[in-house]
Amino acid sequence: MAKDPGRVLIFDTTLRDGEQSPGASLNLEEKLAIAQQLARLGVDVIEAGFPFASAGDFAAVQRIAQQVGGESGPIICGLARASKSDIKACADAVKPALHSRIHTFIATSDIHLEHKLRKSRQEVLGIVPDMVSYARSLVEDVEFSCEDAGRSDPDFLYEVIEAAINAGATTINIPDTVGYTTPSEFGTLIAGINQNVPNIGEAVISVHGHNDLGLAVANFLEAIKNGARQLECTINGIGERAGNASLEELVMALHVRRRHYNPFLGRDADSPTPLTAVRTEEITKTSRLVSNLTGMVVQPNKAIVGANAFAHESGIHQDGVLKNRLTYEIIDARTVGLSDNRISLGKLSGRSAVRARLEELGYDLTREDLDEAFARFKDLADRKREITDRDLEAIVSEQVQQPEARFQLKLVQVSCGSSLRPTATVTLSDDDAGERTVSAVGTGPVDAVCSALNTLAGIPNDLIEFSVKSVTEGIDAMGEVTIRLRRDGSLYSGHAADTDVVVAAAMAFVNALNRLVAGEAKQSLHPQKDAVGPPSRPTL
Ligand code: KIV
Ligand code: ZN
């Protein structure tokens, strides 16, 4: 394989396919913060978004290309449907990056051709080379995907792929769009492509897959054995429906079991050279950042990044681990950056100590952002004796949620107890209506707060999820609240942390309301569900 990179390339699509998860939408600052962290993690490619979707999506991809796509940075990629207007918008958005890529796609399964595209196989075979060569006229690096490849006729796939490579595609991506295939089927599909596409040696084979049957990671590992060299995945496995293949699971499977996978890349089983370029110690921090900003809570038993992934509860296990760690542990928690959450700072710590610790944690803040972080730190230190790294992470990740917000929470007061009717008084500042205060009663303090906020905001919605978890241990720990609101079938999440869970709930609710108004104003296109229509590019 002429194009074999000799290792496995990690293509992160958290900001594109991950952000397509219901309720996971991110603002520009949040996307930038995640992209910067993905660069520190060491991914090869960041798929930063679908630029044609809206002016906001275009601006986010462009900012990431400018600020993260530098000399030693990753390739910055944008998604485009197989249409000239999508491809042109994508090329413009990724242009500032030193290494830029256009990822264009069209469906190839008969069910998509008949019901979604309403096109014949011949028509698709005509569109593919036209669009790939158009993309190649704008950038050097073009990826082409056959959407729903997992359910496509392999003989038709071979023809489409050959045409795409002849037109200049440098990466060919094979998505299991609906998460339908099994590992052996997916491996066979990749092997078939390797054997039957005459020019396949001129492109890198990539895989993309959804987790509807919980098989995405297993499918990818089988694909590597059969020649795939790029994995498209997301942090915490977020994505449409059951999500995408999870980056941390793939990277750690290739790390822990490299003796098993090395020979499939033509290496000695004992070769110590890592199979991916990911800095595994950055995994935990990246996972927390993505969870905090998207509001997608990580299940406690999730492999690698779940709260229980390295906890040894049972007495027998603990005894074994104390005698020899390897009895029940296959990964040292430090490999994924899970430190002992060491107590770092307190009430008397100064600005430079806070800055130094934040820098050690990988947060390089501007002067204004540091001022704000320090003010929040001081406020927290008045209420909490010891400030841990997790607390600092919660403070910083909350900051990037603030810009562009229509609503600002100014005051929350509640009275409740065994013989009181829970009552909340809330002051909200609204860009449209100014600052107002109301009181409301509820079944509990959180219900009373939400009811007051709903009266003030005047935006009907259903609260469909409310979850609280503590950031660290101890009675004075910060509580993290995640809230999900539904309006007109769309979901919006909000997230906040405070030592007072009622205050955290109010902040999370306001955060969700801000996302709701921003989401409704944005009216983005969905790359897979919206048809390529008249070429009216959104006003940029
Ligand atoms: O799942 C899918 O097929 C996709 C493509 C756009 C690559 O996300
Ligand atoms: Zn997908």
Total residues belonging to the chain: 540
How far is residue 361's CA from residue 193's CA, in Å, rounded to a whole number?
A: 43
171-176 vs 204-209, strand pairing mode: parallel
Q: What is the pLDDT of residues 361-416, one digit of tens each?
A: 777 788 988 999 999 899 989 888 888 888 888 888 777 766 668 999 999 999 99
Instruction: Decide: 278 and 8 in contact? Cβ < 8 Å.
Output: no
CA of 246 to the centre of ligand 2 (A): 12
Residue nearest to atom 8 of ligand 1 (CA): 17
Determine the residue of 147, 171, 219 to mutate for testing ligand 1's pocket, defined as the one with the most ligand atoms within 8 A of the Cβ atom.
Answer: 147
Is residue 460 scored above 50 in pLDDT?
yes
Domain 407-521 has CATH 3.30.160.270: yes
Q: Which residues surround ligand 2, an ion (CB under 5 A)?
A: 17
Ligand 1: list residues with CB < 6 Å. Answer: 17, 105, 145, 147, 173, 175, 177, 208, 210, 527-528
User: Which residue in 53, 143, 182, 124 sits closest to 528, CA to CA?
Assistant: 53
Residues 6+ apart with CB under 8 A from 171: 101, 141, 142, 143, 144, 203, 204, 205, 206, 230
Three-point CA angle 433, 436, 440, nearest 5°: 125
Helices (H), 7-153: 28-41, 55-68, 84-94, 110-112, 121-138
Q: What is the pLDDT of residues 30-70, one digit of tens each?
A: 999 999 999 999 999 999 999 999 999 999 999 999 999 99
Domain 9-294 has CATH 3.40.47.10: no
Instruction: Spell out the domain ranges in the chain.
Output: 9-294, 407-521
Rounded to an integer, the average pLDDT of 255-269 is 98
Rounded to an integer, the average pLDDT of 233-242 is 97
Q: What is the pLDDT of residues 62-104, one digit of tens each?
A: 999 999 999 999 999 999 999 999 999 999 999 999 999 999 9
Q: What is the pLDDT of residues 417-452, one digit of tens each?
A: 998 899 999 999 999 999 999 999 999 999 999 999
Instruction: Decide: 520 and 460 in contact? Cβ < 8 Å.
Output: no
Six token digits for residue 269? 């089983």
Residue nearest to atom 2 of ligand 1 (CA): 177
b/e code 441-454 from CB counts within 10 Å (16+ = b):
ebeebbbbbbbbbb
How far is residue 175's CA from residue 207's CA, in Å, rounded to a whole number?
A: 6
Instruction: Decide: 499 and 384 in contact? Cβ < 8 Å.
Output: yes
Closest ligand 1 atom number to CA of residue 147: 3
17-31, 90-104, 155-169, 318-332: the lowest-pLDDT one: 318-332
Instruction: Decide: 22 and 490 in contact? Cβ < 8 Å.
Output: yes
User: Which residue in 519, 451, 41, 29 sits closest to 286, CA to CA?
Assistant: 41
Is residue 341 scored above 60 in pLDDT?
no
CA of 221 to the centre of ligand 2 (A): 17
How far is residue 539's CA from residue 537's CA, in Å, rounded to a whole number?
A: 6
CA of 147 to the centre of ligand 1 (A): 6
